[in-house]
Amino acid sequence: MGDESSTIVDSGAALAVRIADERAARSWSLGELALRSGVSRAMLSKIERCEASPTATVLMRIAAAFETTLAGLLSEKASAPRHLSADEQSTWIDPACGYRRRQIYLSARMPLELVEVLLPPGAVVSAPASAYTLIRQVIWVLEGKVIIDEGGEPTALETGDSLEFDAPSDVQFRNESVRPCRYLVAVVRQ
């Protein structure tokens, strides 16, 4: 996925504190966050106590409950500097399937996010419709093949192909090939 020297986001302690802080800022109980996110109270408790590492799907559900994007939940800063070298771009890895996302651009000054994703062979990542209610996004495949299934309608994409996502629906990203797929996601926050 490019330069491996980029910062790996602490998917444990820092993320646990971030989720707990976001929940506390809203005066929500674990039960309230569970109700709003669709993630069990037990799992949320384990995440906040660093006893479980959340998957991308779980994090997208939590981010949607907080009315932010996955990048907004994973980022420690509200805004990145105008220039961000490759080794300063944070990377997060899904502990279950190896899905790897590098945050290329995120700023409070502009409603645009750029994310590079590496989807390993055989990996499947599901995203709830709620993750797309506050954004519009386009995916551009840089290498490999991926199937994007929006609400039961699959679209196969290969190197060079792009796809603008439709109205919010449950989405599944599948790499059914034997090679990794690398793609760029451009997100516009609404």
* 92 and 121 inside one domain: yes
* 139 and 183 inside one domain: yes
* 170 and 81 inside one domain: yes
CB atoms inside a 10 Å sphere around CB 98 = 14
Q: What is the pLDDT of residues 105-125, one digit of tens each?
A: 988 888 999 999 999 999 999
CATH code for the domain of 90: 2.60.120.10
Domain assignment of residue 8, yes or no = no
Domain assignment of residue 4, yes or no = no
Domain count, the chain: 2
Instruction: Give the chain's end-to-end CA distance (angstroms, integer).
Output: 28
pLDDT value at 153 more than 80:
yes
Q: What is the pLDDT of residues 24-66, one digit of tens each?
A: 999 999 999 999 999 999 999 999 999 998 999 999 999 999 9
pTM of the predicted model as reported, rounded to 2 decimal places:
0.84
* 103 and 28 inside one domain: no
How confident is residue 6, by pLDDT bands cut at 50, 70 and 90? very low
CATH code for the domain of 31: 1.10.260.40
- According to DSSP, residue 170 is labeled -
Contacts with 30 (C-beta within 8 Å, 6 or more apart), sequence order:
23, 41, 44, 45, 48
CB 110 within 8 A of CB 104: no
Domain assignment of residue 3, yes or no = no
